[in-house]
Structure 1
Amino acid sequence: MKKLITLTFVLLLRVRYRITVNGLKELKSRTQDDRPVLFLPNHQALIDPVIIMSLLYNTFAPKPLVDEKQSEHPLIKHLMDMVNAIFIPDLNVSSRDAKEQVFAGIEEVAVSLKRGENVLMYPAGRISQGHQEVIGANSEAVSVIYGAPEARIVLIRIRGLWGSRFSRARGIPSLLGDIWKLLFRVLANGLLFMPRRPVHIEIIEPDDFPVGGDKKIMNRYLENFYNTEPDRNTEIPPYWWQGYQPIHGQSS
């Protein structure tokens, strides 16, 4: 059932997105290394976890670290339960209980890695506010790396989603609401003729990641990796009769 759902998402995503991936075959070929993998992508839009999971799930089955606020709808919650998601509250909530739940979630990530399970988490802790990824003083990924030093670090750089409906370049996005709009547009375009947004994904297991460094060094390394050739604010027409030419705006 899970493979069928993954295939369905892959087919739907391919209708709207022209996805190119570099590094996935090389990662899959390293079967001799059975250490758990900590996947660390940048977070351009609400849709990129769906894209990443569709690429990784059948081979690596990573447990995603998920903002519970984004999973309040029963359908999304059910899908997250199917992939054994680890839920944490909004990182911007300052209540004592919320902070304790965040610490518990981060601890569960480290424990999962120690059990040999793969995990997907976003070092920034939220979708990008601008065209560049800002991690700042966030320490969740660093805490996990310290807590599970045996894990392999795999970085994922996503390009092409800044300016999409699911990004903050268009205001405050809604995953479920915008997915329904996307499905409507797919049907309105006759399934096969919808203009597609180019999305490029690079998957790299660096050999120079500063595992022994402090928080500032690791976060700076991640930001430098994610912000190589920052995206422009790009809008893709939703319907074929509006043309296929991307519309570029400012990169802020």
Structure 2
Amino acid sequence: MTQALGAFNDNVFRNALMFMLTFKAVDALNVDINIVMNLAAGLFILPFFLMSGWAGQLADKYEKSRLIRRIKALEVVIMLLAALAFVAEFWWGLIALVGLMGAQSALFGPVKYALLPQHLAEEELVSGNAWVGMGTFVAILLGTIAGGLLSAQPTYWAALCILVIALLGRLAAQGVPQAPASDPALTIDWNPVTQTRKVLAASKQDAGVFWAIMAISWFWFLGIGYLTQFPNFTREVLAANQTVGTLLLTLFSLGVATGAMLCDRWSRGRIELGMVPLGALGVAVFGYGLYAMAQVIAAEPAPELARTLVDFWDIPEARWFMLWLALSGIAGGLFIIPLYSYVQRHTPETRRAQVIAALNVLNSLFMVISTAMGILLLSVLQLSLPQFYLIFALTAVPIMLASVRRLRDPFLRFLAFLISHGIYRVRHHGLSHIPDTGPALVVANHVSYMDAVLLMGACQRPLRFIIDKEIHDTPALKWLFEICGTVPISSERVDRRNFQEAFSRVADALDQGELVFIFPEGRLTPDGEIQTFRRGLERIVKTSPVPVIPMALSGLWGSWFSRERGRAFAKTPRRLWSRVDVNVGEPVPPDQVSAAELEARVRALRGARA
């Protein structure tokens, strides 16, 4: 609640001010409105760059709930000054106060994110971040709406609103639970330059964490570019009034909140980094859609008066524009939530707040770069606003390619999860039997050509599949199997060399702590029943003594991908979104492994339903 009220108030203040500057004060300021908007954005960002090092140290040294209450008291003082400036219509003073709000936010950021892991278990962290993210963006949504509405009213209404919300936020801070200091003996370095270097060095100690920080910073580069120009984009390109601008910002905020909730639902209590490449791809694709629709809308004859919401809705391309904007927000939510969770979970508690401070420093640096890019592209190069948005959206392409390269296995696993859950109503049982680390051999019955996709999507760790070499070498699919790291195997009678190489590759994978998967039946079932398990799995375990995890699939017999009624894919699908169960049994120690025993266990797991 404390975070939500802060986000709400921040957005009421900044959106009311941005719309007032664009629609009311533009003539009084006598300065190019693009420069004013970028200046305000730069003032908000600058404190993150200068003060995040201090903020991280304070959050690690002191008890966090008391620190939060003091920071919220500072917000009350700043909003009191802003209220007076609104009443006096002191526009340059309000622009300066944007910088003070940035300072308050810079102090609040590290303590906010460092507090969550102290109160949430590992399996709750993604959900916690998703709820914080959703609450934040709902608050942003409401603040955006309120700011837009207040901008059209006398300025004293905005003054009253921001002061009351600041007081409510300070009251809510009384309920923040205690969170002990992570490093009470820490000596604070008040030199912003040396401390910034220290927190940046701390963030680089884990390459994965630093990569996640850089990806998050790119997202803020994109976000500040989008949001800073939106009031002017609404007026100049869409030829619309504040109500339309408020609606569009609302749609984007709702999209991010929806993405956060989808992240919670799809993560299943784990940090699912496979969403990150998909989110970046969505930002690029939907960003291009925004550009295309904006170009069409801008080509419409300019109305004498700014378009109202009804006028805007009457333009067919405007409805597409709103859809692409909401989808861009959803993609952003899928991108950002797993990365924040990863940074929190993989940073030691004693320096977590300082690493989050480093995140804020880099966020602010990227936002400054974004602001400078806005000035360069719009004021110097004189590009149009749709072109500006297109260039920013296309920066997602290299981010997507880099994240696919770095997160190949999580990305493929997440795609398998989406595909399998899009086709079937999948239920998982016993997934806790799959260890988080360490090697194991996984076996299951083979019912359909969708089995591997279902199993890949069910398991939170990458599976290295052993598959028939003839299928592996299918021209249309070989590239995919090679990307997935599958191990092709032939019968020893057909290709003895490949047979030996396959077992050698499996042994190497197990030695490296991987999960290796095999269908011991060696082929799809022709009648829905489990066929005799072959003894190749015994040879694998004899060479590499690892536990064997039995799994069973039920509900797939009769699907379009099975051999029921003849060949797969050669019949008309009869069942849509049918229920499928993925059951996992307890690991079998290597000294108890036999093909017959594992076949019996898989039969018991599957039950009577094929």
Same structural fold, with TM-score higher than 0.5 when normalized by the shorter chain: yes
Question: CA 1:231–1:99 in 2, change beyond 3 Å: closer, same or farther?
Answer: farther
Unaligned runs of 5+ in 1: 186-193, 233-252
Count of residue correspondences: 201
Q: Distance in 1 between matches of 2:591 and 2:421?
A: 39
Structure 1 equivalent of residue 591 of structure 2: 212
- Bigger CA drift: 14-23 or 62-71? 62-71
Q: Distance in 2 between matches of 1:36 and 1:16?
A: 30
**Aligned 1:93-242 pairs, distance under 5 A:** 94-95=493-494, 98-136=495-533, 138-149=534-545, 151-173=546-568, 195-206=576-587, 209=588, 211-212=590-591, 218-228=594-604, 229-232=607-610
Question: CA 1:122–1:19 in 2, change beyond 3 Å: closer, same or farther?
Answer: same
Give the RMSD, CA atoms, in angstroms.
Answer: 2.7
Structure 2 equivalent of residue 86 of structure 1: 487
Greater length-normalized contact order (CA 8 Å, ≥ 6 residues apart): 1
User: 2:433 is matched with which residue: 22, 27, 31?
Assistant: 27
* Bigger CA radius of gyration: 2
Residue identity opposite 1:223 in structure 2: E
Secondary structure at 2:594 match in 1? helix
Contact 2:444 2:551 survives alignment (8 Å) = yes
Q: Distance in 2 between matches of 1:112 and 1:160?
A: 31
- What TM-score, normalized to structure 1? 0.69
Question: Offset of 1:131 from its aligned partner?
Answer: 2.2
Secondary structure at 2:507 match in 1? helix
Spell out, residue by residue over 1:84-124, the C-alpha distance to the aligned partner (whole angstroms, 9 max, x if none).
Answer: 111112x4x843xx244223212321222122222111111
The answer as to 2:414 corresponding to 1:7 is yes
Question: CA 1:103–1:172 in 2, change beyond 3 Å: closer, same or farther?
Answer: farther
Residue identity opposite 1:140 in structure 2: G
Question: CA 1:99–1:170 in 2, change beyond 3 Å: closer, same or farther?
Answer: farther
Residue identity opposite 2:594 in structure 1: M
Question: CA 1:8–1:158 in 2, change beyond 3 Å: closer, same or farther?
Answer: same
Contact 2:548 2:589 survives alignment (8 Å) = no
Question: Offset of 1:196 from its aligned partner?
Answer: 1.1
Question: CA 1:38–1:85 in 2, change beyond 3 Å: closer, same or farther?
Answer: same
Unaligned runs of 5+ in 2: 1-403
Question: Offset of 1:77 from its aligned partner?
Answer: 1.5
Q: Distance in 2 between matches of 1:140 and 1:230?
A: 26
Contact 1:37 1:113 survives alignment (8 Å) = yes
Structure 1 equivalent of residue 451 of structure 2: 48
Spell out, residue by residue over 1:63-93, the C-alpha distance to the aligned partner (whole angstroms, 9 max, x if none).
Answer: 111112223344421221112111112x4x8
Contact 2:413 2:462 survives alignment (8 Å) = no
Question: Offset of 1:155 from its aligned partner?
Answer: 1.1
Q: Distance in 1 between matches of 2:443 and 2:580?
A: 17
Q: Distance in 1 between matches of 2:474 and 2:497?
A: 23
- What TM-score, normalized to structure 2? 0.31
Structure number with higher strand proportion: 1
Question: CA 1:197–1:12 in 2, change beyond 3 Å: closer, same or farther?
Answer: same
Residue identity opposite 1:203 in structure 2: V
Q: Distance in 1 between matches of 2:475 and 2:547?
A: 33
Structure number with higher helix proportion: 2
Contact 1:132 1:230 survives alignment (8 Å) = no
Question: CA 1:103–1:13 in 2, change beyond 3 Å: closer, same or farther?
Answer: same
Question: CA 1:13–1:212 in 2, change beyond 3 Å: closer, same or farther?
Answer: closer
Q: Distance in 2 between matches of 1:154 and 1:70?
A: 25
Question: CA 1:163–1:99 in 2, change beyond 3 Å: closer, same or farther?
Answer: farther
Contact 2:442 2:550 survives alignment (8 Å) = yes
Contact 1:122 1:141 survives alignment (8 Å) = no
Secondary structure at 2:590 match in 1? coil
**Percent identity between the two aligned chains:** 22
Structure 1 equivalent of residue 464 of structure 2: 63
